[in-house]
Amino acid sequence: MSSSLRFEVVGEAFKKKAIEVPAPSERPSEFFAKYVFTRQKMYKYLPADVFKKMCDVMDNGATLDLATADKVAEGMKKWAMELGVTHCTHWFQPLTEGTAEKHDAFLEHDYKGGMVEEFSGKLLVQQEPDASSFPSGGIRSTFEARGYSAWDPASPVFVIGDTLMIPTVFISYTGEALDYKAPLKKALHAVDRAATDVCRYFYPDVKKVISNLGWEQEYFLVDEGLYAARPDLLMTGRTLMGHDSAKNQQMDDHYFGSIPGRVAAFMKDLEIQALELGIPCKTRHNEVAPNQFELAPIYEETNLAIDHNMLLMSVMKKVARKHGFRCLLHEKPFAGINGSGKHNNWSLATDTGILLHGPGKTPMDNLRFVTFIVETLMAVHRHNGLLKASIMSATNAHRLGAHEAPPAIISSFLGKQLSDVLDHLEKSTDDELIDLAGKHGMKLDIPQIPELMIDNTDRNRTSPFAFTGNRFEFRAVGSQANCAASMIVLNAAMAEALIHFKSRVDTLIQAGMDKMKAILKVVRDDIKTCRPIHFDGNGYSEEWKKEAAQRGLDVEASCPLVFDRYLDENSVKMFALTHVFTRPEIEARNEIKWETYTKKVQIEARIFGDMCLNHIIPVATRYQSALVKNVHDLQAIFPAEGTAGQLNAMNISLIKQISEHSSYIAEHVEKLIEARKVANRIKSEREKAIAYHDTVAPMLEDIRRHVDKLELIVDDEIWPLPKYRELLFIR
Ligand code: ADP
Ligand code: MG
C-alpha cells in the first residue's frame, strides 16, 4: 500500500457517519424471539398430542420417534414458510472455530412433473454432512469415515434470512463426538444427575438440576477500511506489529463512557437482531480499552446460552460489516492495551431455585448452600490444571498472564463473608453455635442454621474464578472461544465432586451417623482439602505465582503443555465417570488442539515475515535513501562540513538506526523461516506445537520490537500500515 492509500482510508474512516437504524414498530418484549420456533409457536403450529410429546422431549429428555418428528417438521415448515423460508440446515459446532452449516432447499419432485416444498421429520432429525473436512484428530481414520448431525430439541430452531437453522450435535458414525455440543450435553446430564442426588438430602422433591450460564462478550470494533489495510488483522485477527499509541487507556476515559454514534447505531441494530433471534440481550457498555465494548444477555440454561453465544458472535460480525466496521473477537488484537475475554457466570439451579444462592431461609438452605459452594471448590481444586486447559488457546495465551487478565493459574475468590463462613465451619464442632452476627451481620448456626447474608460487594477483578453472590464467574475464558469447552470441564468436574461427596456421606449414614452430621463432616473435610484453591489476594502479583506453585496449583503457562492436562489420569477418570469423553476421544481432541495451535502460529509467522520484507523494510529503506540524499545535498552546499559533520549528525544517527533495525529484522525473519522449517519436520503434533511455542512464537515478539522502533523513526507520510492511534480512535 502506498502512503497515500493509508491517508485515504484514515480520511474515509473519519468522515463516516452513523447509519440510521429505524426504531422497531414493536416493543422488544413483542418482537423477542420473532424468528424462533418457541414453545408458544409449537403450541400454535403443532397438533395437541404432538405438542405434548415435544414438551416431554424438551423437559424430560424423552426420545423423539420418527412419526412425531414428521409432524413436528410439518408444523415447523408451515411456520417457516410464512416467514419466506426456502431452505433448511443443520447448524453445528465443529472443533474448528465458529459454527458450520450445509443448506438444503425444501424443494422435492412431486412426481407429477412439478416440484413441491417438503420437509420431513428425517431431515429435521438427522443429516449426514461430509465429515471428512472437519478436524477429527484421527477419529475418522481410527473409527469410521462418516459423520452425522442430529437435532438437539433442547435448543429451538430459528430462522436466518431464508433458512431454517436446526441446532444439532455432530458425531462420527461410531458415536464419537466431533463437536462441542455432544460432550456438553453429556456433562450437563451428569451434573444434573449428581446434583439432584445431593439436593435430595435437603429437598426430597427436587426433580432436576439445571446448569445456568450468563456470558459477557467483549469485542473490539475497527473501521473496515483500516482493517483492510492491515494484512495481519485481516489474516490473523490481531496486529502483529504497531507501536503504542501515545494515548491509549491510561486515562480510563473509555470504560462506561458515552457510546460513540456509529457504535451506538451498530449496537442498536445488533440488539434488535439478537432479540429477534431470542437472545435476551441486557447490558451494553464501553470496555476499558479504546474501541472495546461488551454485550451481556440475561443468563440461560447452559446449552441454550452457548448456542446463543455462538449465534451472537456470527450476527455481530455481520452487523459490524453493515456499519462499516469489523468486529474483532480475538483475545489480544492490540499489544499494550486490554484484550477481550468472555466471563462465564455459572450456577446450578433446581426446578425451584438457585443452589449457589445464599441467604437461605432455613438451616437446610444454608447447609445446602455451603455444600454446593464447597463442592464447586473441590471440583475446581482437583481439576484446576484441566480448567486452565479448557480455556487455553494460541490466541487466549496472549491474554492470560498479561497485566489486565487473570494469570495462567486457576484459583477462586470467595470474599470476606464467605471465607469467614468456611473458616468457622471448618473449626467448629458439630453442636457449636457459630455466630457471626456481631461482626458481619451473619449468623451461622450449625446444625440449626439460620439466615446467611452473602453479597457480592467486595469484588476481586484479578481472580479467574470468583464467587459473586449467587454464582461463580469464570473470567479466564477467551472472547472468541466456544464457552462449551470450559462448561464441559466445569460441569463434569462438578458432577464428579458431587458423586464423591454423596458416596462419602452415604457411607457415614450407613454406619449410623445422623444425616446432617454426616454432611457437615464431609463438608468440613472438604474445606480443608480444597483450601489451596481459595485465594482472595492479588492474582496479578509475582508473589502469587510462587505461592501458587507451593500450594500445588498448576502454574504451567506454555499453551501446548497445558493441553497435556486433558490426558492426566485424574482427568481421564473424571471424564469416564461422567461419561463425557472416552480416552480415545480426548486423545483425538488434543491432537486437534496441538494442530490448531501450530497452524495459528504458523500463519502469523508467515504474514509477519511478508509484512517485514514487503512492507516495512522497503519503506524504511526508502526513507533512509532520502536521508542519505539529504546528507549529500547538505554536503554540496556546505562542502567544508563533511558528511559526518555537525550538520548531518541527526541524519547520520537516523540512517544508522534504520540500518540496524532493518538488518536485524531481515536477518531474524530468515531465522524465523528456518525455525519454522525445523518445526515443520517434526511428526508428533504435540512436539511440533511445543517447537512452535518455544522457538517461533517468541521470535515474532522479538522482531516486532524493531519494527515498532522503525515506525517511530520513519516519515509518517510513507508509513504503510494504519497506526494504533488510527485503528483505535476512529469511530
Ligand atoms: P458484571 O459485569 O458486573 O459481572 P453483568 O451484569 O455484565 O455483570 O453480567 C452478569 C451476567 O451474569 C449476566 O449475564 C447475568 O444474567 C448473569 N447472572 C446473574 N445471576 C446469575 C446466576 N445465578 N447464574 C448464572 N448467571 C447469572
Ligand atoms: Mg462479570
Q: Which atom of ligand 1 is nearest to the CA of 468?
A: 4
What pLDDT is recorded for position 462?
A: 79
Residues 101 and 121 in one domain: yes
Torsion over CA of 615, 621, 626 and 630, rounded to 10 degrees?
A: 150
Residue nearest to atom 11 of ligand 1 (CA): 214
Residues 353 and 290 in one domain: yes
Residues 200 and 102 in one domain: no
Q: Which atom of ligand 1 is nearest to the CA of 299?
A: 16
Count of domains observed in the chain: 3
* Long-range contact set of residues 50-56: C-beta below 8 Å, sequence gap at least 24: 50/75, 54/153
End of a domain among 143, 159, 179? 179
b/e code 503-513 from CB counts within 10 Å (16+ = b): ebbeebeeeee
Contact 295, 685 (CB under 8 A): no
Which CATH number goes with the domain that contains 686? 1.20.120.1560
Range of the domain at 624: 597-727
Tens of pLDDT, residue by residue over 317-366, are: 999 999 999 999 999 999 988 899 999 999 999 987 777 776 566 667 78
What pLDDT is recorded for position 358?
A: 64
Residues 303 and 209 in one domain: yes
Contact 348, 494 (CB under 8 A): yes
Torsion over CA of 321, 325, 327 and 332, rounded to 10 degrees?
A: 150
704 inside domain: yes
Residues 236 and 159 in one domain: no
b/e code 299-314 from CB counts within 10 Å (16+ = b): bbebbbbbbbbbbbbe
- Give residues whose Cβ lies within 5 Å of ion ligand 2: 343
Contact 487, 184 (CB under 8 A): yes
445 inside domain: no
Cell digits of residue 279:
437472545
Residues 214 and 166 in one domain: no
Residues 507 and 608 in one domain: no
Cα–Cα distance, 363 to 433 (Å, whole number): 12
Residue nearest to atom 1 of ligand 1 (CA): 216
End of a domain among 129, 150, 179? 179
What pLDDT is recorded for position 252?
A: 60
Residue nearest to atom 17 of ligand 1 (CA): 214
Residues 38 and 82 in one domain: yes
Cα–Cα distance, 232 to 448 (Å, whole number): 62
Overall residue count recorded for the chain in this entry: 731
Name the residue of 191, 279, 288, 299 whose CB sits within 8 Å of the most ligand 1 atoms, as the mutation to test its pocket: 299
Tens of pLDDT, residue by residue over 192-203, are: 999 999 999 998
End of a domain among 581, 615, 650? 581
Cα–Cα distance, 590 to 565 (Å, whole number): 10
22 inside domain: no
Q: Kindly give, in sequence order, each residue whose CB lies less than 8 Å from that of residue 436, ignoring residues fewer than 6 positions away.
A: 420, 421, 424, 442, 443, 444
CB atoms within 10 A of CB 12: 15
- The ranges of the chain with pLDDT < 70 are 1-3, 130-131, 138-146, 249-258, 358-363, 401-406, 429-459, 731
26 inside domain: no
What pLDDT is recorded for position 103?
A: 84
Helix axis angle for 181-202 and 363-382, nearest 10°, is: 140
Cα–Cα distance, 453 to 377 (Å, whole number): 20
Which CATH number goes with the domain that contains 136? 3.10.20.70
Residues 156 and 212 in one domain: no
What pLDDT is recorded for position 129?
A: 72
Q: Tell me, what amino acid is at 512?
A: G
Which residues form the pocket of ligand 1, taking CB atoms under 6 Å from any ligand atom? 212, 214, 216, 283, 296-299, 343, 345-347, 354, 470-471
Which CATH number goes with the domain that contains 457? 3.30.590.10
Q: Which atom of ligand 1 is nearest to the CA of 215?
A: 14
Cα–Cα distance, 725 to 731 (Å, whole number): 12
Residues 169 and 192 in one domain: no
Q: Kindly give, in sequence order, each residue whose CB lies less than 8 Å from that of residue 722, ignoring residues fewer than 6 positions away.
A: 6, 9, 10, 226, 229, 230
Q: Which atom of ligand 1 is nearest to the CA of 347?
A: 24
21 inside domain: no
- Measured in Å, residue 470 CA sits from the centre of ligand 1 at 9
The three-state secondary structure class of 566 is: helix
Cα–Cα distance, 106 to 88 (Å, whole number): 7
689 inside domain: yes
Residues 270 and 164 in one domain: no
Residue nearest to atom 14 of ligand 1 (CA): 214
Residues 82 and 219 in one domain: no
- Chain centroid to CA 361: 36
CA-nearest of 501, 464, 457, 496 to 367 is 501
157 inside domain: yes
16 inside domain: no
Helix axis angle for 302-322 and 261-276, nearest 10°, is: 140
What pLDDT is recorded for position 459?
A: 65
